């Protein structure tokens, strides 16, 4: 199954995997040789100095000016129904229960999973 950006659910509001705060939609110029430069619409953390970003096809990743994106190896979470490249995102965080809820980023997919954390991430 091929996914297009038009198949991303409209209510995607990912939380930063580090701070568990809402991320904002923005764009970044990317260059991945041998592909020509392109612009990627993605979500980025609003916390000062935080390099965290999210895109449904690239999962959570760190973005530093002039460097290749670095996938976050601790938060990889693919939808069990859609598989690659439909990554899930952190949709909710409950600090009292120290748990985060992941949702599939694909339109009309109801897949969720709840993850209990041993300790809250930095800044949460």
Which pLDDT score is estimated for 2?
Answer: 47
32 within some domain: yes
73 within some domain: yes
121 within some domain: no
122 within some domain: no
What HEC string does 31-94 produce? CCCCCCCEEEEEEEECCCCCCEEEECCCEEEECCCCCCCEECCCCCCECCCCCCCCEEEEEEEE
Segment 37-52 mean pLDDT: 88
Contacts of residues 56-61 at CB distance under 8 Å and 24 or more positions apart, as own/partner, are: 56/3, 56/5, 56/8, 56/12, 56/85, 56/86, 56/87, 56/89, 56/105, 56/106, 57/3, 57/85, 57/86, 57/87, 58/85, 58/87, 59/87, 60/17, 60/87, 60/89
* Structural domain total, the chain: 1
123 within some domain: no
Residue 69: closest CA among 90, 38, 25, 96:
38
70 within some domain: yes
Which pLDDT score is estimated for 20?
Answer: 94
58 within some domain: yes
Is the model's pTM score more than 0.85? Answer: no
124 within some domain: no
Per-residue model confidence as pLDDT tens digits over 55-104 = 887 889 888 877 767 777 676 688 888 877 778 999 999 999 999 999 99
For residue 52, name the pLDDT band (cuts at 50, 70, 90): very high
Query: Domain residues for 94?
Result: 5-116
């Amino acid at each position: 199954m091929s996914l297009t950006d038009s198949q991303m659910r409209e209510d995607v509001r990912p939380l930063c995997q580090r701070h568990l705060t809402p991320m904002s939609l923005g764009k970044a110029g990317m260059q991945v040789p041998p592909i020509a430069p392109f612009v990627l619409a993605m979500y980025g953390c609003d916390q000062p100095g935080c390099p965290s970003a999210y895109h449904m096809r690239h999962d959570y990743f760190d973005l530093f000016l002039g460097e290749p994106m670095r996938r976050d190896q601790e938060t990889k979470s693919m939808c069990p129904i859609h598989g690659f490249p439909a990554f899930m995102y952190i949709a909710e965080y409950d600090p009292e229960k120290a748990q985060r809820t992941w949702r599939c980023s694909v339109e009309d997919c109801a897949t969720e999973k709840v993850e209990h954390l041993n300790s809250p991430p930095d800044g949460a």
